[in-house]
Chains A and B, each alone.
Chain A
């Protein structure tokens, strides 16, 4: 059971950051995950009053506030237009609408879950993470930060660029936590895949062997899928075994490459 001694609605990021330095204090996202902790919290720090619950658009990027509910991201017109609906596709399997209205982008990224649809799609969109103290970094750099870090995730920055994106995931049953997540992106003639839920943090795999460099063929797509599955590391848990995940990865990457090609 989660107990909380004090609740503070932070009035500034500085206040939130200062409070967050104490080990038994905790920043609140949507609380969908932390609600399940068996922990006594000194001060729960709510970022809800800092205007971080919306997605802003500039000429270069979409700025997704940390407190933006997953459902707002899922329904965002601009981000979905830029990704041919891949953003909505990546989030639609997460529990249900009420859940996605409750859980936030900031909590999802900060937690670096080894099963995350959210991390997979944001990494595929080459997003950067803005932390209050440490500043801006790539999703890959953020993934490597020690878990003891006590910063505040302010926003996620998704650069605007022309790209084709296909998102696929494999679940044992609809709305369950995924067994594997996969996004394939084509941008400026280059193709890369992001594979997550291995069950480890998502990672990027580029077409270093040039298997798709001179166009997509059935054989090239298959070879790229096999190459990603060979390079990625997989693990077993209650949802699936390592070998199964490896096979699924090859198939999802191949299918995503062929889907992108078919849809131009």
Chain B
């Protein structure tokens, strides 16, 4: 089937199988930040933005992206840079496999709610699993970033 979409600002026309997952489609197009984690809609590693909304690409058919704007971390480097350094500063990750999913969902959180409380951060990121850390580092990193923006 032919689909037309915008991937990270670039218009793409592609012929895809009806059961191709959006996860495989974006990876085939060089967006390797999008990870295959659980593949059962549990872990958030495959998070992409569809028209600005964070969704799970492991549970979305590529054909459903027809006519839409899809963004991955590859297309959001500048926005991510702002706060990802604060997460790294906290030594929040060990293997780092979960990081792109965390960063994507944090971008969505901060667009929706630029000044979240710790509880709101935890609630928004609850669908991002990390097998190495205890999540406190990520939380401290985002808090440090928010504080730096307020000059605290």
Taking Cβ atoms with an 8 Å cutoff, the residues of A that contact B are 2-7, 28, 30-33, 35-36, 41, 44, 46, 48, 92, 95-99, 101-103, 174-175
CA distance A228 to B6 in the complex (A): 53
CA distance A238 to B125 in the complex (A): 26
CA distance A36 to B41 in the complex (A): 9
Q: Can you name 15 extra interface pairs (CB under 8 A) apart from A4-B18, A95-B126, A99-B42? A: A2-B19, A5-B18, A7-B18, A30-B59, A33-B41, A35-B39, A35-B40, A36-B41, A46-B63, A97-B109, A98-B55, A99-B41, A101-B53, A101-B55, A102-B59
How many B residues are at the interface, by size bracket? Answer: 20 to 34
Q: Is B32 an interface residue (CB 8 A)?
A: no
State which of B19, B105, B127 has its C-beta within 8 Å of the C-beta of A4: B19
Q: Chain A contacts of B40 at CB under 8 A?
A: 35-36
Q: Chain A contacts of B128 at CB under 8 A?
A: 96
CA distance A101 to B123 in the complex (A): 14
Q: Chain A contacts of B142 at CB under 8 A?
A: none
Q: Chain B contacts of A92 at CB under 8 A?
A: 123
CA distance A4 to B20 in the complex (A): 9
Could you tell me if B55 and A48 are in contact, using CB atoms closer than 8 angstroms? no
Could you tell me if A96 and B44 are in contact, using CB atoms closer than 8 angstroms? yes
CA distance A248 to B87 in the complex (A): 39
List the 3 shortest-distance A-B pairs measured between CB atoms, nearest first: A96-B127, A7-B18, A4-B19
CA distance A28 to B53 in the complex (A): 19
